[in-house]
Amino acid sequence: MTLTRPAGTAGPDAPPTAPPFAVISGAQVEQALLGRERQIVELVEATYRLHGAGDTVVPPSYFLRFPDRPDSRMIALPASIGGRAPVDGLKWISSFPRNVAAGLPRASAVLILNDHATGYPYACLEGSVISATRTAASAASAAGRLSRGRPRPRRVGFVGTGLIARYVHTFLAATGWQFEEIGLYDVSADSAAGFRTYLETAAGTHQELSPATGAAPAHVTLHTDPGQLIRTSDLVVFATVAARPHVSDLSWFAHHPLVLHISLRDLAPEILLTAADIVDDTDHCLRAGTSPHLAEQLTGHRGFVTGTIADVLAGRVSVPGDRTVVFSPFGLGVLDLAVGAFVHDEVARSGGLRHIDGFFHALRRYG
C-alpha cells in the first residue's frame, strides 16, 4: 500500500515549502477507515516489515505520570517511517481509567504528522480511533500469522471487554475469522454485559453472524472466572487496564492456546517462560513493568523471547504447535503514523481536508 505526500509539500527536486496544516476530526477518521480492515492489516504488516528492516526510527516512549493520580498517565510516542512515503510524527495519548465511571472512554489521543522534508507538521488527527485501529489490526495480523501450522482457533475468549476488545473483534470478523464460542470476562459485569449485547446484534458481529457466510451465530458466554474462560478458549485476548500481573496459574494454559497479550501486564512472568513469546520490538516491550520486562528481571536475560512479529512475517521464526504462543505488542508509534497517513490521504482524496489558513505565520526568516 503506497501513501502519498501531503498536498503542498515540495517534491524531491523543488525547494522545500511549508505545507498547509489540516485538522482531521474523529468522525472523518472513522469514515476514512470504515470497511478498510483488510487494507489496514496489510498496511500494519508492511510497517512491521519496514521496522524489521531498520527503516524506521522508534525512540523510547515517554511517560508522564501524576503523584496525585497514580492510575493515570500520558504517553508520547515519537516515530519516523522511511520507505517510499516517509513521514515523521508524534502520538500523544492519555489513559485515565476513572473516566469510565463517568461514561467517558478511558483513552484520548491526538496524532501529529510532520513533513519529512521540512519538519513542519501538516496534520493533527483525532488519535484514539487510529490507536484502537492499529492495535486491532496488529492483533488480527498476529492471530492469522501465529495460528499457521496450528489448529485454527474456533473458541475465542476476551479478558477485558472495553473499546479495544470491540475493535479487535471487529478486525477478526472482518478478516475472515468465525468462532463457535465467544467467552467474555471483565471485572465490571456491566461492561461484559454491554459487550455481549454488542456481539449479539447483526451490526456488531459483522460477517461472522451474516447468513451469507453460512456460519451459525457464535454462542456468547459471560464468565465470572477468568480461569474457566482461558481453559475453554483456543484464542485468548487480553485487553484490560491491569497495572500488574493477575493471571499466574500455569494449568489454565495446559491446552496451549494462542494468546494476544495486548494489555501487556496481565500474565505472570512464569507463564511467559513456558510459552513461545513473540513481541513487536524487544527493546520497547521489555520495559515499563510489562510482563516480558518482569520475565527479564526474573531470569536476568532475554532468551525467552522467541522473536518479533517481523521475524514471523519474514519466515525467520516459526511458531511451535505444542506450546502456548503469546504475542505481546508494546504498540509502536510507527503503526499510528502509517494509519494516520493513510487517513490523511483518504480525507484529502475525498476533498474533506480542513486547512487552518495562516496557521504558520512567521515564514519569512527576516520578516
Give the CATH number for residue 58: 3.30.1780.10
- Cα–Cα distance for residue pair 318/313, rounded to 1 Å: 10
Whether 165 has a pLDDT exceeding 60, the answer reads: yes
Report whether pLDDT(201) > 90.
Answer: no
Higher pLDDT: 208 or 115? It is 115
What per-residue confidence (pLDDT) applies to 345? 96
Q: What pLDDT score does 208 carry?
A: 43
User: Where is pLDDT greater, at 17 or 93?
Assistant: 93
- H helices of the chain, where? 26-33, 37-52, 128-146, 163-174, 189-199, 202-205, 226-231, 269-272, 282-285, 291-299, 309-314, 333-349
Instruction: Judge whether 6 lies within some domain.
Output: no
What is the separation, in whole angstroms, between the first and last Cα of the chain?
42
CA distances from 152 to 42, 179, 210, 234, 361 (A): 20, 10, 20, 8, 56
How much of the chain exceeds pLDDT 90, in percent?
Answer: 79
65, exposed or middle or buried, with CB in 10 Å at 0-12, 13-18, 19+?
exposed
Instruction: Indicate whether 207 pLDDT > 90.
Output: no
Mean pLDDT across the chain = 91
Determine the average pLDDT of the residues in 128-152: 96
Kindly give, in sequence order, each residue whose CB lies less than 8 Å from that of residue 165, ignoring residues fewer than 6 positions away.
Answer: 158, 195, 237, 239
Residue 203 vs residue 125, higher pLDDT = 125
What tens digit of pLDDT does each residue of 254-297 get? 999 999 999 999 999 999 999 999 999 999 999 999 999 999 99
Residue 177 is part of a domain; what is its CATH number? 3.40.50.720
Q: Looking at the predicted structure, is the pLDDT value of residue 100 above 90?
A: no
Asked if 70 and 111 sit in the same domain, the reply is: yes
User: For residue 306, which of 287, 322, 289, 326 has the smallest C-alpha distance?
Assistant: 326
Q: What is the DSSP letter of 180?
A: S
Q: Is the pLDDT of residue 206 over 70?
A: no
Q: The cell 504498540 sits on which residue? A: 331
User: Do 166 and 80 belong to one domain?
Assistant: no
State residue 215's pLDDT score: 55
Query: For position 147, what pLDDT does the model report?
Result: 95
Coil/strand/helix, residue 14:
coil
Looking at the structure, tell me whether residues 198 and 273 fall in a common domain: yes
What are the start-end ranges of the H helices in 79-188?
128-146, 163-174
367 belongs to a structural domain: no
Is residue 62 one of the residues assigned to a domain? Answer: yes
Task: Kindly state whether residues 88 and 184 are assigned to the same domain.
Answer: no
Q: Are residues 110 and 147 in the same domain?
A: no
User: How far is residue 253's CA from residue 361's CA, in Å, rounded to a whole number?
Assistant: 59
Q: Note the pLDDT of residue 83.
A: 86
* Predicted pLDDT of residue 367: 65
At 63-92, the pLDDT tens digits run 999 999 998 999 999 999 998 889 999 999
Instruction: List, as one string, the DSSP characters of 33-60.
Output: HTT-HHHHHHHHHHHHHHHHTT-EE-PP
Are residues 119 and 93 located together in one domain of the fold?
yes
Q: Residue 209 has what pLDDT?
A: 39
Q: For residues 71 and 97, give the distance between their C-alpha atoms in angstroms, rounded to a whole number.
A: 7
Q: Are 265 and 243 in contact (CB under 8 A)?
A: yes
Q: Which domain holds residue 103?
A: 22-130+333-355
Q: Is the pLDDT of residue 214 over 90?
A: no
- For residue 363, is it within any domain? no
**pLDDT confidence of residue 12:** 55
Q: Is residue 361 part of a domain?
A: no
- The answer to whether residue 99 scores a pLDDT higher than 60 is yes
CB 245 within 8 A of CB 269: yes
Residue type, 222: L
Number of domains in the chain: 2
Q: Are residues 209 and 60 in the same domain?
A: no
pTM of the model: 0.90
pLDDT of 120-131, one tens digit each?
Answer: 999 999 999 999
Residues 324 and 232 in one domain: yes
* 69 occurs within a structural domain: yes
Q: Specify the amino acid at residue 254.
A: A
pLDDT at 10: 47
Average pLDDT on 207-219 reads 55
Query: Do both 124 and 232 map to the same domain?
Result: no
Does a structural domain hold residue 233? yes
Q: Which of 6-15, 299-308, 312-321 has the lowest mean pLDDT?
A: 6-15
In a domain, 16, yes or no: no
Q: What pLDDT is recorded for position 14?
A: 67
